Structure 1
Amino acid sequence: MKQNKIIAAVLILSLSASAYAQQSGVNTKNPKGTLHVDGARDNNASGDPTAPQQANDFVVTQAGNVGIGTVVPNAKLVINNGTAGAAIKIMDGTQANGYVLTSDANGVGAWAAVPAFRPTILGAFPPVPATVNANAGSGTIVYSGVSITLAPGKWAVNAGMTFNNITTDIWQHCYLSSNTASVAQAGFTHLGPAGTSTTYAGILLKAAKALPADVTGTGFISGSSVIEVTAPAGVTIYLVFQKWSTTIFSYNTNSPENYFYALPIQ
């Protein structure tokens, strides 16, 4: 008789285990999914937990949905933080301030700077106004004194340059360079059809006078160049001019028409 009671008890336990195997609870006797963890052990003994009680819960449903902070996830992963911000944190070494989570063609995610979320970058002009002449500098170029520092990515770099004291009609070239003493492109590339030969250019005329009484000319060159910064840490780019053997023009950094800035693009 005693043996029969033992067998019956084992059968009851087995049936009970089979019945409850559909839903397992940790810190709760009232699981709401295939797996339900009540972190603070504060849920109701029966019925659904309240929103504050669900805030510390973790649930896996029969459909394979996962809920964090909710016991009724209606998607494969639902996170209810209950407050603004800090609902998710992914640190894989690519994270940075202002970056967004992107994916490649295979759906592998990584943090990246998206142009729509990157600000326009303004060029740096000397705090003390300076004037450079066409025959200043060394080598074949003249450094304007103006620069801009850009992060990795594609940029449209826009420049506007006022030239004064023009004494000779010339076709003038202006370049973006990673060096103040030569035309170099370390850390960035031009994406336009001219490639490494890309330049801002225009004609400077002695007869184009800013005022009728002027004896020399005034000219303006502007343009936009699409570049890609490839240096992982970013790069400082300098605005430089074609050099001449004589002082056939001057460039004043504080001319009101001057500008130098970069717009982020896709």
Structure 2
Amino acid sequence: MNKNLYIIIAILISGVAFSQVGVNTSNPQGVFNIDGGRDNPLTGAGSTYTPAQQRNDLVFLTNGNLGLGVTAPVQKLDIVTGGTSASPIAGFKLDDGTQGEGYFLMSKADGTAYWKEVAVTKPTILGTWGTSVITSDDSSSAPLEIYTGANITLPKGKWVVNFGLNLNITADVPHKSGFWQKAYLSSSSTTREQNGFEIIGSNTTPYMGYATAITKSTNAANSINFLSGSSVVVVTGNSATIYVLLKNSKRQLGATTGNMWEFDPSLNDMYLYAMPVNQ
């Protein structure tokens, strides 16, 4: 009888002993508790431990909550580093190859986490302009496109590139006559080409950036028009400098004097800037 009683007591003690496991502590606060600093009290609840005593603990509770740096975790994963808004201390790191400066933690449909750069983390980028007056060249040896002096350098990603400038018709074409003026985005300031970026939604290669009808609105010598538009550009390399070229439209409709168009930076009313877009 006594022998059986001893066995039952031993089993009960064994069950209690193995219901909680403590490493470096004889006072485990959950099913499993590691006291990394060996500084937990021998008795008492973990919630009464000092912050310093809790910060080096790992605790797993019967409800499945896991605490890192906290002995009474209230979420499935509860991390407390002791950092403050003035002196933050990182408590999480996901190094899976998608990480990057300023990236956001995102989720796939199945809940898998990954890092992604989003548009709100990128600033709007302004282009630069030259100061020289640019005009069409009517000689037979002239290039097909002429550099406006405008360019913009963009890092890798998707961008909406917005562009606008005044064009003055100086050729002596009749009132209300006009032509189709095109502008191109190029990776070269001298020829029309695209390396390191592409334009979304265009059906020609190299892609056209912008186009508009330019009309002689008066019989006077000069007639101001405005060429503007937006293009969605994807920079595929680490960065790309994009130059704006204008089609070198020649004299037509019987005109014998003047250039077909002229761009004068001093007229103002011009812009070149890019806004980030989420991929």
Q: Same-fold call, TM > 0.5?
A: yes
Give the equivalent residue in structure 2 for 1:71: 71
Matches within 5 A, 1:94-133: 94-126=98-130, 129-133=131-135
The amino acid across from 1:188 in the alignment is: F
| Residue 20 of structure 2 corresponds to residue 23 of structure 1 | yes
* Distance in 1 (alpha carbons) for counterparts of 2:93 and 2:142: 51
Matches within 5 A, 1:160-175: 160-164=164-168, 166-167=170-171, 168=173, 169-175=178-184
Cα displacement string for residues 222-255 of structure 1 (whole angstroms, at most 9, x for unaligned residues)? 11122333x1413222211111346322223454
Stretches of structure 1 lacking an aligned partner (at least 5 in a row): none
Aligned residues of 1:192 and 1:198 also touching (Cα < 8 A): no
Say which is worse superposed, 21-30 or 103-112, in terms of deviation: 103-112
Give the equivalent residue in structure 2 for 1:158: 162
Q: 1:208 to 1:79 in 2, by over 3 A?
A: farther
Cα displacement string for residues 79-110 of structure 1 (whole angstroms, at most 9, x for unaligned residues)? 11221432223333332221112234444433
Aligned residues of 1:144 and 1:253 also touching (Cα < 8 A): no
Shift of 1:195: 6.0
Give the equivalent residue in structure 2 for 1:234: 239
* Distance in 1 (alpha carbons) for counterparts of 2:24 and 2:80: 20
Counterpart secondary structure, 2:91: coil
* Distance in 2 (alpha carbons) for counterparts of 1:141 and 1:17: 88
Counterpart secondary structure, 1:233: strand
* Distance in 2 (alpha carbons) for counterparts of 1:31 and 1:67: 13
Cα displacement string for residues 21-59 of structure 1 (whole angstroms, at most 9, x for unaligned residues)? 221112222111122122222222222223342122211
The amino acid across from 1:236 in the alignment is: T
Say which is worse superposed, 37-46 or 163-172, in terms of deviation: 163-172
What is the TM-score when the length of structure 2 is the normalising length?
A: 0.77
* Distance in 2 (alpha carbons) for counterparts of 1:54 and 1:150: 47
The amino acid across from 1:257 in the alignment is: D
Counterpart secondary structure, 1:18: helix
The amino acid across from 1:28 in the alignment is: T
Give the equivalent residue in structure 1 for 2:136: 134
Aligned residues of 2:168 and 2:225 also touching (Cα < 8 A): yes
| Residue 276 of structure 2 corresponds to residue 264 of structure 1 | yes
Give the equivalent residue in structure 1 for 2:264: 252
Give the equivalent residue in structure 1 for 2:226: 220
Q: 1:132 to 1:17 in 2, by over 3 A?
A: farther
| Residue 206 of structure 2 corresponds to residue 199 of structure 1 | no
Aligned length: 251
Aligned residues of 1:145 and 1:253 also touching (Cα < 8 A): no
* Distance in 1 (alpha carbons) for counterparts of 2:237 and 2:13: 61
Aligned residues of 1:166 and 1:204 also touching (Cα < 8 A): no
Aligned residues of 1:208 and 1:219 also touching (Cα < 8 A): no
Shift of 1:17: 4.5
Aligned residues of 1:69 and 1:80 also touching (Cα < 8 A): yes
* Distance in 2 (alpha carbons) for counterparts of 1:109 and 1:52: 31
Q: 1:105 to 1:178 in 2, by over 3 A?
A: farther
Aligned residues of 2:20 and 2:31 also touching (Cα < 8 A): yes
* Distance in 1 (alpha carbons) for counterparts of 2:156 and 2:107: 18
What is the TM-score when the length of structure 1 is the normalising length?
A: 0.80
Find the partner of 1:41 among 24, 35, 38: 38
Say which is worse superposed, 148-157 or 217-226, in terms of deviation: 148-157
Q: 1:138 to 1:82 in 2, by over 3 A?
A: farther
Counterpart secondary structure, 2:114: strand
Aligned residues of 2:170 and 2:221 also touching (Cα < 8 A): no
Stretches of structure 2 lacking an aligned partner (at least 5 in a row): 252-258
Q: 1:68 to 1:245 in 2, by over 3 A?
A: same
* Distance in 1 (alpha carbons) for counterparts of 2:113 and 2:240: 26
| Runs of 4+ that moved beyond 6 A | none
